[in-house]
Amino acid sequence: MTEATALDAAHAAMEANPQDDAARLRFFERLADSELFLMLTEEAKDENISPELFDVADGRFVLVFDREDRLARFAERPVPYVALSGRVLSSMLSGQGIGLGLNLEVAPSSMLIPSEALGWLAETLQHGPEEVQQRLEEFLAPAGLPDNLLTALDAKLATAVGLADAAYLVGTKTKGGGSGHLLGFVGAVEGAEAALAKAASEALTFSGIEAGAMDVGFFPPNDPVAASLARVGLRFDLPQPEVRVATQTIPGSDPEKPPILK
C-alpha cells in the first residue's frame, strides 16, 4: 500500500465531515496546489496536449492522479502523461463542461469532480489581494486568529519554494488606533511579491476567513522592521530549492502559456 498523500488526507477529512465547509475548502486548496499527472492520448508536443477523455453518466472527465505510480496502476500499460498543477488544470478546463476523475480506483481519494466545481475553483483562484497603504505604529504577538488559518498559511507557504527566506505573522496597531494582523515576508526574491501576496490571500480564502483580515508586507533582511517582526512574530520558514539544472520545459510550467487542449 502506498503512502497516503496530502490529497488523500484532505479528501478523508472532507468525507468524514460532509457538512463542514472548512474541510471542503481545504480539499480544494490541496487540489489546486498539488502536482497532478494527466493521462494523454499521445505524447505532448510543445504546448499542445490531448487529454484522454472519458464519458460517463455524470458527464465527461479527464483522468488525473497525484502520483505517477497510481497512474501506472490504473492504466496497466505505458501511457503518455503530463504533470500540471491543479490550478492550471482548473483554468484549462473551466467552461468546457469537463470534470476531473481523480485517482480513480487506485487511492482512497478516488472521486469524480464535476465541471461546475472546477469552474468555481478556477474563479476562486482568480481573486487576488488589493493593494493599500497604511502607517503601522506597533507590532505585537499575533492573537485571536483561528487555528485553521494558521494551518492554511503553513500549508500554503510550504509550496512557495525559494520565494522568500521566511514570513512572520504579527498583530499590528495603527496611529489611528486600529488593529489588525500582518504577514511580513523577509528576503523575498525580486518579482515574487505578487505570488506571495496571492498565496496569503488564498490561505485566507480557503480557510473560510473573510478577506481583509490580514495585511501583507515585504522587507529586506537588513531592514529594522524585519528584526521587529522576528522578536514578536510567529515564524514560517519557506522551503528552499535544491540546486539542479533544468534541461526541459514542461507543458504548463509557464503560467502565461497554459497547455492547449487538442
Give the 3-state secondary structure percentages of the chain, helix then strand then coil, rounded to 5.
35, 25, 40
Q: How many domains does the chain have?
A: 2
Are 112 and 100 in contact by the 8 Å Cβ rule? The answer is yes
Any domain includes 169: yes
Any domain includes 174: yes
Are 236 and 166 in contact by the 8 Å Cβ rule? The answer is yes
Instruction: Let me know whether 113 and 179 are in one domain.
Output: no
What range does the domain containing 69 cover? 6-126
Instruction: Let me know whether 148 and 233 are in one domain.
Output: yes
Distance CA 109, CA 97 (A): 22
Helix axes 193-206, 147-157, angle to 10 degrees: 140
Q: Is 36 helix (H, G, I), strand (E, B) or coil?
A: strand
List the grid coordinates of 47: 504546448
pLDDT in 10s for each residue of the chain, 262 residues: 568 899 999 999 999 988 888 889 889 999 998 999 999 999 888 778 899 999 888 789 999 999 999 999 999 998 999 999 998 999 999 889 999 999 999 999 999 999 999 999 998 888 766 555 667 788 999 888 888 888 888 988 988 889 999 999 999 988 777 888 889 999 999 999 988 988 888 888 887 765 456 888 999 999 999 999 999 999 999 988 775 554 455 555 565 566 666 5
Nearest to 31 by CA among 55, 53, 6: 6
Distance CA 254, CA 47 (A): 10
Q: What is the CATH number of the domain that holds 49?
A: 3.40.1350.90
| Last residue in a domain, options 73, 92, 126 | 126
